[in-house]
């Protein structure tokens, strides 16, 4: 499968004049024991030529500062005349499948209505900060001692752990010796961003209104007040969706067939990219609020009599569910609705959530008030419905414990000429490929190919295809 980057996919993790990084992740939804190879073509070009922004949002005010061509309500519906594009490799022309193994069964996308379900059931409660029989609203520090909300003015400050903790009441819940404590975060300046407000946590639970067993659960954190400049909003909380309570009633597990994870305005309207870029959101096994974990790039494991004991309080990067800004579709193929997904996930353990968001508008833009919201529709396990599993294959990265940006698994890329990166991995189980979702963000990324085979099959075992040093 080949991918091409459009303007809505461009990330600004780095300054091309200083350092360029590329982040490539293959998120594979399947069960298949095969060896997979990904190649990425790293071109170099003037960033302005790559970023073909359809409308200028510099200086946007009022409603326009929230809603752009990517998420205008009138354009949510699928264009019935839309067709996938094609591309050439050599003399052969191929169809762009958007990563779907069976594109005719999945394209064009049409998720219209799912987020409306969320808002119909929980929207007014969340908008008004309700506390009633199905919704609660509390300061984050009273809900979860690991709840996190940190703000960094720009990528340089993010790299150096130089930000403002917006929940200073939870200062003592960082790991001893953490760089967040060693002079990195400011625990007294939160009023500069929040005034007298606090970061709040909300959860709404509602039964399904289609008569089927199960329900909806919607978590929301905020508010955040952003003014652009590609700042960083670092968030996380424990027990996503109160899945632990669902498991008490259904210890065999449960299915999630709709997930809607995205930034929203206070009234629940979705915010696309621009203005807010989802750098990453990860739902992972507990404990998984990463800023509260030990600063490890890899967890340590010990094998004892056939069992594996995992180091406590170490971030487990097994992504059970994830969301990244790359996944927002073009307007003609459902736009921001792509951030709502409908493949069936089968969960048997509780999850935590963590991630980072960026306001991509120019620095000094008019203030945006926004929240991050994660909504799910669940039901008891339905054996007749196949579940989708996910595995992640990642490119090798530069790991530097003194640079927070390296924790997003980036690596330096030369910009003076075109380059290619390749890496390979093996899937953990047999099965059938459903979708290959590429996550690769930076302005020097051109395209990628995804192959079933071994490096030798493609001639990648030749010495010239290996780095001089690694």
Confidence of residue 43 (pLDDT cuts 50, 70, 90): very low
90 or 375: which leads in pLDDT: 375
Between residues 102 and 193, the one the model is more confident about: 193
Share of the chain above pLDDT 70, in %: 75
* Residue carrying the six token digits 């203030």: 367
- Residue with more model confidence, 416 or 344: 344
Q: Is the pLDDT of residue 187 over 70?
A: yes
Give the mean model confidence (pLDDT) for residues 315-341. Answer: 78
- Residue-wise pLDDT tens digits, 439-467: 776 566 777 778 888 899 989 989 888 87
- Number of C-beta neighbours around residue 449 at 10 A: 17
Does residue 26 contact residue 435 with C-beta atoms inside 8 Å?
no
187 burial type by CB count under 10 A (0-12 exposed, 13-18 middle, 19+ buried): middle
Residue 71 vs residue 104, higher pLDDT: 104
Give me the DSSP letters along 416-450: SS-EEEEEEEE-SS-----EEEEEE-STTEEEEEE
Does 469 sit behind a cis peptide bond, omega within 30 degrees of 0 on the bond before it?
no
β-pairing, 232-237 vs 215-226, is unpaired
- Would you call 24 helix, strand, or coil by DSSP? strand
Pairing assessment for the beta strands 254-264 and 340-341 based on DSSP bridges? antiparallel
For residue 1, pLDDT beyond 80: no
What's the token pair of residue 407?
């924790």
Q: Where are the alpha helices (DSSP H) in 12-127?
A: 47-50, 103-106, 114-127
Query: Which candidate, 323, 452, 435, 451, places its Cα nearest to that of 388?
Result: 435
Give the mean pLDDT of the chain.
79
What pLDDT digit, counting tens, does each position of 246-288 carry? 999 999 999 999 999 999 999 888 888 888 999 999 999 888 8
Rg (CA), the chain: 22
Which range has the worst mean pLDDT, 72-76, 142-146, 148-152?
72-76
Provide the 3-class DSSP secondary structure of residue 180.
helix
The highest-confidence range among 33-42, 391-400, 426-435, 453-462, by mean pLDDT, is 453-462
pLDDT category of residue 123 using cuts at 50, 70 and 90: very high
DSSP 183: I
User: How sure is the predictor about 309, in pLDDT bands with cuts at 50, 70 and 90?
Assistant: low
pLDDT tens column, 345-400: 999 999 999 999 999 888 999 899 999 999 999 999 999 998 988 888 877 777 77
Tally of CB atoms within 10 A around 127: 16
Using CB atoms within 10 Å of the CB of residue 429, give its burial: 0 to 12 exposed, 13 to 18 middle, 19+ buried: exposed
Q: Is 122 helix (H, G, I), strand (E, B) or coil?
A: helix
Q: Residues of 323-353 as b/e, b for ≥16 C-beta within 10 angstroms?
A: bbbbbbbbbebbbbbbbbbebebbbeebbbb
Asked if pLDDT for residue 188 goes beyond 90, the answer is: yes
Contact by Cβ (8 Å): 136, 128? no
Q: Is the pLDDT of residue 190 over 90?
A: yes
Does residue 390 contact residue 26 with C-beta atoms inside 8 Å? no
Note the pLDDT tens digit of each residue in 287-302: 888 888 876 655 655 4
What pLDDT was estimated at residue 7? 29
CB 149 within 8 A of CB 187: no
- Band of the pLDDT at 70, cuts 50, 70, 90? low
* pLDDT given for residue 71 in this prediction: 54
Using 50, 70 and 90 to split pLDDT, how confident is the model at 48? very low
- Predicted confidence band at 12 (pLDDT cuts at 50, 70, 90)? very low
| Integer Cα distance of 330 and 309 in angstroms | 44
pLDDT level of residue 316 (50, 70, 90 thresholds): confident
Side by side, the strands of the sheet bearing 3-4 are 3-4, 445-452, 35-42, 419-426
């Amino acid at each position: 499968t080949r991918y091409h980057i459009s303007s809505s996919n461009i990330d600004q993790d780095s300054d091309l004049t200083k350092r360029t990084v590329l982040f490539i992740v293959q998120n594979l939804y399947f069960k298949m024991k095969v060896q997979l190879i990904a190649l990425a073509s790293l071109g170099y070009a003037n960033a302005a030529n790559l970023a073909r922004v359809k409308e200028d949002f510099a200086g946007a005010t009022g409603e326009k500062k929230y809603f752009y061509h990517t998420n205008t309500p009138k354009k949510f519906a699928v264009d019935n005349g839309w067709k996938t594009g094609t591309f050439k490799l050599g003399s052969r022309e191929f169809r762009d499948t958007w990563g779907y193994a069976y594109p005719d069964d999945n394209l064009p996308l049409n998720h219209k209505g799912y987020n409306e379900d969320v808002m119909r059931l929980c929207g007014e409660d969340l908008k008004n900060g309700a506390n009633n029989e199905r919704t609660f609203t509390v300061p984050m520090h009273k809900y979860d001692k690991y709840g996190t909300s940190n703000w960094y003015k720009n990528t340089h400050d993010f790299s150096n752990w130089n930000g403002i903790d917006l929940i200073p009441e939870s200062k003592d819940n960082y790991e001893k010796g953490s760089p967040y404590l060693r002079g990195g975060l400011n625990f007294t300046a939160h009023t500069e961003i929040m005034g007298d407000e606090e970061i709040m946590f909300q959860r709404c639970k509602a039964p399904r209104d289609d008569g089927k067993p199960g329900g909806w659960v919607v978590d929301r954190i905020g508010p955040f007040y952003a003014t652009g400049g590609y700042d960083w909003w670092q968030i996380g909380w424990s027990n996503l969706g109160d899945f632990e309570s669902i498991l008490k009633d259904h210890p065999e597990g449960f299915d999630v067939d709709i997930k809607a994870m995205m930034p929203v305005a206070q009234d629940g309207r979705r915010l696309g990219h621009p203005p807010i870029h989802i750098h990453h959101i990860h739902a992972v096994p507990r404990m998984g609020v990463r800023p509260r974990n030990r600063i490890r790039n890899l967890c340590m494991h010990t094998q004892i009599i056939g069992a594996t004991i995992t180091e406590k309080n170490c971030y487990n990067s097994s992504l059970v569910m994830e969301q990244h800004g790359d996944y927002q579709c073009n307007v003609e193929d459902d736009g921001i609705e792509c951030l709502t997904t409908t493949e069936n996930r089968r969960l048997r353990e509780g999850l935590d959530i963590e991630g980072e968001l960026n306001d991509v508008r120019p620095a000094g833009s008019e203030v945006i008030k926004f929240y991050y919201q994660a909504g799910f529709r669940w039901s008891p396990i339905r054996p007749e419905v196949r579940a989708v599993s996910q595995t992640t294959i990642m490119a090798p990265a530069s790991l530097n414990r003194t640079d927070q940006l390296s924790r997003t698994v980036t690596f330096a890329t030369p910009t003076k000429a075109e380059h290619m990166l390749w890496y390979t991995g093996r899937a953990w189980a047999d099965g059938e490929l459903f979708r290959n979702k590429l996550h690769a963000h930076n302005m020097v990324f051109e395209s990628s190919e995804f192959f079933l085979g071994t490096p030798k099959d493609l001639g990648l075992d030749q010495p010239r295809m290996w780095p001089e040093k690694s």
